[in-house]
């Protein structure tokens, strides 16, 4: 029986990819105007962004232990091995909640196998790992092969993205009030990445066009064999910028394999409207893979 791949709604993979690759998704909660919604089930990203444009201030809350127990039990009853690939444990408690839920289910079904993988990623960086895991599972690979490969990929997937409105980062404690105010006045766009599972601002540039240009420059510095891999592009309700970034990446790297999707409710609630970013495997990933093959 093939391994079942499970993830959460922070992965930002489309419903089509989830369905076609037999991936189960557990939704986070989104609190909007006092109502508790299930991400991607009872509220969609498009609706969230529309409400945010009207002044709504969404919040997100954790996946509950019961949600995990219900999903895990479904596959434990079938004795189907599972791998849950979580949103970064540095940005969410979902990974630890899943570990506790898995232990609870295993106590009732001691022969059931499950591995919890902390992706240390978010958005489509997490999505790329989930997608690769699903491909391996559908090819009949066992957990013992899937876990180390996906762990390696997670640790060496680059996140490079920019946001439009520093106010949302201020509310999340990422920048102070003065830099938020000045940045908005001067049309400054921060460039961020993820290191050790944490979101970190690394540079500031003036204007979205320069922000996207800098993302592509950083891709050239950090990436390799980009034409051979899937490059993922996320956008926070800004398809025009996503398509422009895709065009820039195609022109520079001859890359033709992309996954493009909207930033979901989880991260969209925290980075605001208009962000855009790219996710890809870095040079260290390929060096480590080549080293393992040579040995």
User: What is the C-alpha separation between 99 and 97, in angstroms, rounded?
Assistant: 5
Average pLDDT over residues 156-167: 88
The confidence score (pLDDT) of residue 242 equals: 97
Average pLDDT over residues 65-88: 98
User: Could you tell me which residue, 201 or 225, shows the higher pLDDT?
Assistant: 225
Q: Tokens in use for 166?
A: 């520093």
State phi, psi for 216 to the nearest 5 degrees: -65, -40
Within 8 A by CB and 6+ apart from 46, the residues are: 237, 262
pLDDT at 244 over 70: yes
Band the pLDDT of 241: cuts 50, 70, 90: very high
The confidence score (pLDDT) of residue 177 equals: 47
Tell which CATH classification among 3.40.50.150, 3.90.550.10, 3.40.50.360, 3.30.1180.10 matches the domain 157-290. 3.30.1180.10
The confidence score (pLDDT) of residue 147 equals: 98
User: What is the C-alpha separation between 57 and 234, in angstroms, rounded?
Assistant: 21
Domain range list for the chain = 4-28+63-155, 157-290
User: What is the C-alpha separation between 170 and 180, in angstroms, rounded?
Assistant: 6
The residue assigned the tokens 């969609």 is 44
- Mean residue pLDDT across the chain: 92
Average pLDDT over residues 261-288: 94
Nearest to 84 by CA among 148, 178, 154, 147: 147
pLDDT at 180 over 80: no
Residue 220: how many other CB atoms lie within 10 Å: 11
pLDDT at 178 over 50: no
- Residue 64 to residues 23, 28, 69, 197, 264: CA-CA distances in angstroms? 19, 8, 9, 21, 19
CATH topology of domain 4-28+63-155: Rossmann fold (3.40.50)
Band the pLDDT of 16: cuts 50, 70, 90: very high
Percent of the chain at pLDDT above 90? 82
Average pLDDT over residues 37-42: 96
- List pLDDT tens digits, range 93-129: 999 999 999 999 999 999 999 999 999 999 999 999 9
Average pLDDT over residues 173-192: 62
The confidence score (pLDDT) of residue 179 equals: 53
User: What is the C-alpha separation between 287 and 264, in angstroms, rounded?
Assistant: 32
Average pLDDT over residues 137-156: 97
């Amino acid at each position: 029986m093939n391994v079942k791949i499970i993830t959460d709604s922070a992965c930002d993979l489309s419903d089509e990819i989830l369905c076609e690759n037999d991936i189960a998704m557990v939704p986070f909660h989104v609190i909007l105007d006092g109502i508790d919604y299930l991400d991607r089930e009872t509220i969609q990203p498009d609706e969230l962004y529309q409400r945010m444009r009207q002044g709504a201030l969404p919040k997100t809350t954790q996946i509950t232990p019961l949600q995990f127990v219900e999903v895990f039990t479904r596959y434990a009853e079938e004795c189907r091995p599972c791998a849950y690939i979580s949103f970064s444990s540095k940005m969410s408690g979902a990974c630890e909640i899943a570990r506790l839920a898995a232990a609870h289910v295993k106590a009732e079904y001691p022969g059931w196998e499950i591995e919890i993988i902390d992706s240390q990623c978010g958005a489509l960086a997490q999505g790329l790992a989930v997608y690769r895991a699903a491909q391996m599972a559908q090819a009949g690979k066992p957990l013992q092969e899937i876990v180390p490969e996906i762990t390696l990929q997670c640790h060496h997937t680059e996140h490079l993205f920019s946001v439009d409105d520093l106010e949302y980062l201020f509310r999340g404690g990422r920048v102070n009030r003065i830099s938020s105010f000045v940045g908005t006045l001067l049309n400054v766009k921060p460039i961020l990445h993820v290191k050790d599972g944490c979101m970190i601002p690394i540079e500031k540039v003036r204007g979205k066009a320069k922000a996207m240009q800098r993302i592509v420059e950083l891709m050239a510095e950090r990436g390799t064999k980009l034409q051979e891999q899937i490059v993922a592009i996320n956008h926070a309700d800004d398809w025009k910028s996503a398509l422009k970034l895709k065009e820039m990446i195609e022109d520079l790297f001859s890359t033709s394999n992309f996954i493009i999707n909207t930033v979901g409710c989880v991260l969209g609630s925290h980075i605001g409207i208009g962000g855009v970013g790219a996710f890809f495997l870095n040079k260290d990933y390929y060096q480590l893979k080549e080293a393992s093959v040579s040995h």
